[in-house]
Structure 1
Amino acid sequence: MKKYPRINEYKVLGARILLAYIFYFVARILFYVYNRNLIAVDGFFDFVALCYHGLAFDTTTILYTNGLFILLSVFPLLINTKKAYQKVLFYVYFATNLLVYSANFIDFIYYRYTFSRSTRASLDTLEHESNKAALFFNFLLNYWHVFLLFFALAYIWILAYKRIKITPHTEKPSLKYFATSTASLLLIVTLCVGGIRGDFKKSTRPINLLDASRYVKNAGQADVVLNTPFAIIRTWNTNTFKKVNLVPKATVDRLLVPIKQYRNNPPTKPNIVIFILESFAREYSGAFNKNTTIPDYEGYTPFVDSLAQHSLIFTNAYANGWKSIHGVSSVIAGIPSFKDAFTSSPYPKQKIESLVSTLKSEGYDTSFFHGAPNGSMGFLGFANILGYDHYYGKTEYNNDADFDGVWGIWDEPFFQYFNKTLTQKKPPFMATMFSVSSHEPYKVPEKYEGKFPKGKVNINQCIGYTDYALKRFFAEAQKQPWYANTIFVLVADHGNTIAYDEYRKEFNKHTVPILFFSPNQKYTGVNDEWAQQIDIYPTLLDMMGYQKPFRSWGRSLISDKTVPPFVVKYSANVYQFMCGNYICTFDGKKAVGFYDKNDKGMTRNLIGQRNAEMDKIELYCKAFIQDYMERVIDKRLTTVK
């Protein structure tokens, strides 16, 4: 003790920090257990390797979280071992650790909807919810086992901490004490800085979410390597919207044609009605899986399947984001969301050319409908930015008898309200309906219990209910004078719970149905080319014969021959660019993988077999990212070049 006056304190500190590593390891195991059907791991040793690589990310999180605790533990105060001081350390330790640690448990459940660890953007989504308490208690009721696990582990952690005792002793001030304590403090701080960064190399940036992909066999495994607090911490104050200079501007204009102008149809003014259906993944609709090879496949949308027979449908379509608000910006404004959502960035408050602005310029009345409390999901704010004339939410509906108790008005009555409100409008009008009921907690109105098949996963009966609500809407709408001159669009905002292994494959995640229907059946058929949400905006303008130039990263799905069919999205910490015969994974600067278009499970990386088509796809990806960042940051989301 005389030679090293504080050696026991440092041992106790090390043991207490080690406890955090142990419990993060347990959380990683539980995360995988809850989501094992979504993440392919080749056996025990493969999982152990992922856990080993996860230590670097746990280190960053643990040292960030325990910075104050570590500093208070090693600072030379002479009273560090006193009982009262140790009690303060106890509360500092658990107040910070348990709060941060709890974030891991959110993704035990939430991961199955987003297919990625939660980030700061995930927290931003809650900011717009007025019924946070109801959502919390609903989550508590449905996923009580997650709360039970958290509190059980917290209790065990506290018991283990209390067993690591430190012997109180009185330390007399001396030069040796302060000299060795100060040297130890500087050494520990240096080690902590290195641990937070990921290494001590000056030339290396601190580790981030993308680094988790360096250690995996398939992209989904990166989420086992990561932990949720790390993902939130590393995205807390980051702005991933940064300009890049990857290709000449002439290449951007040639490949992307960001300013479109179609003159394929004579100018007309049909009404435009767009249903963005909550969580209505492609997996659930039989019409979009007609040629599936999935054993014992079952669909849950008999009405949509019947409507598809008289519509133009796209069976290989994708969402350009993973949250509801991403679906709105992609479908209505043609703006995808990548690592961070455009709507959560510093840049959404600008003039944005969209379906709303282009149709308003043609004399259209524009409306947004969402049966949740006004402002939920950030829809009201973004609708105001886009310039919708009217917003109809739970407030305007004004009848809580039809409230589902959690999210909003049940789809069936709200869709009927939608029809009645449209009937009172003077054509032409453009209206967007964002549905509510096909969502967690996966319930249907009591009077419909047992009417819709429970199916293979919890959401299936809710899909059946929303499908029925659509049937009821169309049955009433077709009686109205505006119906015959209307183009209807059905699309999902994103996916949800997965039943079939085929849809657990990385490149089959975020698949959505896209359907265009008009009563005159001008556009019908089944198209299996690449398609995406951002294509809906230019396709509608092409259908109605809009003659003016407009800004669009998407393409018309009915006539555009200049830009080839493609999909761009962000998943598993990389951009994914799908075009032609290949799928390219792109880290923001260069291609890191190429896969055959049918290799949706990422089983064979062909990057070592580069060919001319792959080179062109990488060029497309570079051009897209460059133009996207420039236009968003420079606030040029209009026809201004």
Structure 2
Amino acid sequence: MHKFPRINEYKALVYRVLLAYGFYSIVRILFFLYNAKLLKVDTASDFFALCYHGIAFDTTSIIYTNGLFILLSILPLKINAKKGFQKFLFYLYFATNLLAYATNFIDFIYYRYTFSRSTRASLDTLENEQNKGLLFFNFLINYWHVFLLFFITAILWVILYKRYKIKEDKPVSNPKYFGASIAVFLIIVTLCIGGIRGDFRKSTRPINLLDASRFVTNAAQADLVLNTPFAIIRTWSTNSFKKIDLLSKNEVDSLLVPIKHYANNPETKPNVVIFILESFAREYNGAFNKNTTIPNYEGYTPFVDSLAQHSLIFTNAYANGWKSIHGVSSVIAGIPSFKDAFTSSPYPKQKIESLVSTLKSEGYDTSFFHGAPNGSMGFLGFGNILGYDHYYGKTEYNNDADFDGVWGIWDEPFFQFFNKELTKKKQPFMATMFSVSSHEPYRIPERYEGKFPKGKVNINQCIGYTDYALKQFFKSAEKESWFKNTIFVMVADHGNTIAYDEYRKELNKNTVPILFYSPNEKYVGVNNDWAQQIDIYPTLLDMMGYQKPFRSWGRSLINEKQVPPFVVKYSANVFQYMSGDYVCTFDGKKIVGYYSKDDKNLEHNLIKQKTPEMDVIGQRCIAFIQDYMERIIDKRLETVR
């Protein structure tokens, strides 16, 4: 019976890759031993569970690091098994692996000061140091034991690598050799692509730093799941976070007022329920388009439209980012995302003052609901960083009969589950519901086919279905004892498919509805001022009469006196700051344009006719970006009390 061509080469490749996994496991154990007090792992079973979850992150690092080595090992070159070629592979293997591996050892010590794995930002910081040689020498002297451990493990790795020798196979026919090689090549490439992404299932994005927080009971443990090469690789091209220094601190504080302290309302403790509705753009909501000039406009939200008659709504509101996770950080923590997502940057794993932390300090139970598989979209990881007490996903729902087959549990049954879980809770509670069904592939349950208008674009009937799910939720919730003592918020995470040209204009992109409803109808009306997702957090604290100062880049939409209405977002490769009658555009270094708020496509730059009002708006724009970058990079996302 003939052997499979190149079987010895493939065995050697598997052995060498498994060696990398073994040494990544060793360095994870050493990292823990150096930083056990900071990582706070209670039991051996917890430790091994975290190590197990780390395999996905190790896989990504190992494949990135060994990509060229793997490729050269499997190409049908007919010289792969020869001594000279194997010697070349040996040097390539260790040149790449040991360089990446060494970064883990640096974090044995550096972690004590940064409390996070080193990232691209860490390298950027080092780049600015003029005495790199002296710093390295001092590190070598002070932490000689770290270098010793590195060299011991490196030497052991080399010894083990050399133990498996490749013997040249007997020549086989070219068709058999190349046919087998191509088949194995395709299999290995497929596995490598899945390994780099970190998930072989349907997923919206490759795993990133945030996903490590899915598996932890406290935020620090995420760094045990991670490895340093992964942290550097995943943040290599996502660090657009750069400090700017164009205004003094006093100017920034006076223009922006980053620390809010309201005294407008008596202190109360209502329940807070926030619906972040997937892709539920302003365009689709009839109540938010009453003054539209769009010919033959159609909306698809009859229930939200009816609820709006008894609510405070904002018809000129914007998302502060472009993805679902951006919506969560903006709404719950008041942290917008600009060129790059805050949650995918090197900086999300820090103490963050948010609606979660402020309400927990007041005795609230906090929970996050999302009907998708647990951890989807990075919500579980970021939720753990924010400190939610409970996370409810597809796992907790525990009934795949209601699974839509792609994303998660259909909105209608999951919203009913939401209501039942809230009813079990002790008041006061704060709960966030992130919907699922208004998403591609834009399907609705079969039993509702034909019930909702197909509309003009693919998402319209899904919007109708989610609107119906909301109606059913409120029908059930209003019977519960907690309902009357609750403030409800509805907002979209971002926009989606556009039907009308009016919403394709630059200043109408990514507009969202914002609605506040309370059964006592304390807040009712229509507000056409500038509003945005990051305003929801301070508005709720103002409504509740929260008595302490707190960090917020947004403003209260009901009583704010210090900062006029504004919107800040990133689009068309510039920061856009909208306030009053104008829109300012800023490239990160200088103001590049001023436009009338009615110039929806930003076609007529007024910078040469700059007025005092424009100048103030420009200063506020710079103040916002300057403070945003400083607080995120310096890890000052909470009020210092």
- Identify whether the pair has TM-score above 0.5, normalized to the shorter chain: yes
Give 3-state SS (helix, strand or coil) of 1:242's partner: coil
Aligned length: 435
User: What aligned pairs does 1:31-42 form with structure 2 within 5 A after superposition?
Assistant: none
Contact persistence 2:303–2:467 (CA under 8 A): yes
Aligned position for 2:202 = 132
Counterpart amino acid of 1:567? Answer: V
Give distance in 2, aligned partners of 1:281 and 1:134: 20
Partners of 2:235 and 2:345 within 8 A in 1: no
Matches of 2:278 and 2:574 in 1, distance apart? 25
The one-letter code matched in structure 1 to 2:437 is S
Contact 2:594 2:607 in 1 (8 A): yes
Question: 1:207-606 alignment to 2 at 5 Å?
Answer: 237-606=237-606
Q: 2:95: which partner in 1?
A: none
Q: Deviations over 1:65-88 (max 9, x none)?
A: 9xx99xxxxxxxxxxxxxx9xxx9
- Cα 1:513–1:129 change in 2 (3 A) is farther
The change in CA–CA distance for 1:284 and 1:128 in structure 2 (over 3 A counts) is farther
Task: Determine the C-alpha separation between the residues in 2 that align with 1:534 and 1:130.
Answer: 35
Cα deviation code 1:439-484 (max 9, x no counterpart): 0000000000000000000000000000000000000000000000
Q: Give the CA deviation at 1:243.
A: 1.1
Query: How much does 1:376 deviate?
Result: 0.2
Opposite residue 614 of structure 2, the aligned amino acid is M
Identity of aligned residues (%): 80
Q: 1:234 to 1:261 in 2, by over 3 A?
A: closer
- The verdict on how the C-alpha distance between 1:234 and 1:445 changes in structure 2, with shifts beyond 3 A counting, is closer
Secondary structure of the 2:240 match is: coil
The one-letter code of the counterpart of 1:389 is: D
Q: Is the 1:268–1:545 contact (alpha carbons within 8 Å) kept by the matching residues of 2?
A: yes
Structure 1 counterpart of 2:624: 624
Shift of 1:237: 2.7
Change (3 A) 1:270 1:443: same
**Secondary structure of the equivalent of 1:132?**
coil
Deviations 1:367-421 (A, max 9, x none): 0000000000000000000000000000000000000000000000000000000
Match of 1:35 in 2: none
Deviations 1:166-189 (A, max 9, x none): xxxxxxxxxxxxxxxxxxxxxxxx
- SS at 2:384's partner residue? helix
Q: Deviations over 1:265-299 (max 9, x none)?
A: 00000000000000000000000000100000000
Structure 1 residues 496-535: Cα deviation after superposition (integer angstroms, max 9, x where no partner): 0000000000111010000000000000000000000000
Q: Which consecutive residues of structure 1, in runs of 5 or more, have no partner in the other structure? A: 1-64, 70-83, 104-122, 137-232
Partner SS for 2:328: helix
In 2, Cα distance between the equivalents of 1:471 and 1:564?
35
Secondary structure at 1:255's aligned position in 2? helix
Q: Partner letter of residue 379 of structure 1?
A: F
Instruction: Provide closer, same or farther for how the CA distance between residues 401 and 238 of structure 1 changes in structure 2, counting only shifts above 3 A.
Output: closer
Contact 2:402 2:410 in 1 (8 A): yes
Report Cα offsets for 1:98-120 as digits up to 9, x if no partner. Answer: x9xxx9xxxxxxxxxxxxxxxxx
Conservation of the 8 A alpha-carbon contact between 1:314 and 1:527:
yes
Residues in 2 aligned to 1:494 and 1:423: alpha-carbon distance in whole angstroms = 29
Give distance in 1, aligned partners of 2:314 and 2:580: 16
Task: Provide the secondary structure at the position in 2 that maps to 1:432.
Answer: strand
Q: Give the Å deviation of 1:561.
A: 1.1
SS in 1 for 2:391: strand
Q: CA deviation at 1:576?
A: 0.6
Please tell me whether the aligned partners of residues 538 and 555 of structure 2 are also in contact (alpha carbons under 8 angstroms). Answer: yes
Contact kept in structure 1, 2:204 and 2:377, CA below 8 Å = no
Evaluate the alpha carbon distance shift between residue 133 and residue 306 of structure 1 in structure 2; reply closer, same or farther with a 3 A threshold. Answer: closer
Shift of 1:236: 5.0
Moved more, 584-593 or 538-547: 584-593
2:237 and 2:623 map into 1 onto residues whose CA distance is 27
1:275 counterpart SS class: strand
2:369 counterpart SS class: strand
What are structure 2's unaligned runs of at least 5 residues? 1-67, 73-173, 207-232
Cα 1:356–1:133 shift into 2, 3 Å: closer
Distance 1:134 1:357 in 2: 29
CA RMSD of aligned residues (A): 2.9
- Alpha-carbon distance between aligned partners in 1 of 2:626 and 2:204, rounded to the nearest angstrom: 42
Q: Distance in 2 between matches of 1:130 and 1:545?
A: 48
Note the C-alpha offset of 1:603. 2.4
Q: Which amino acid aligns with 2:618?
A: E
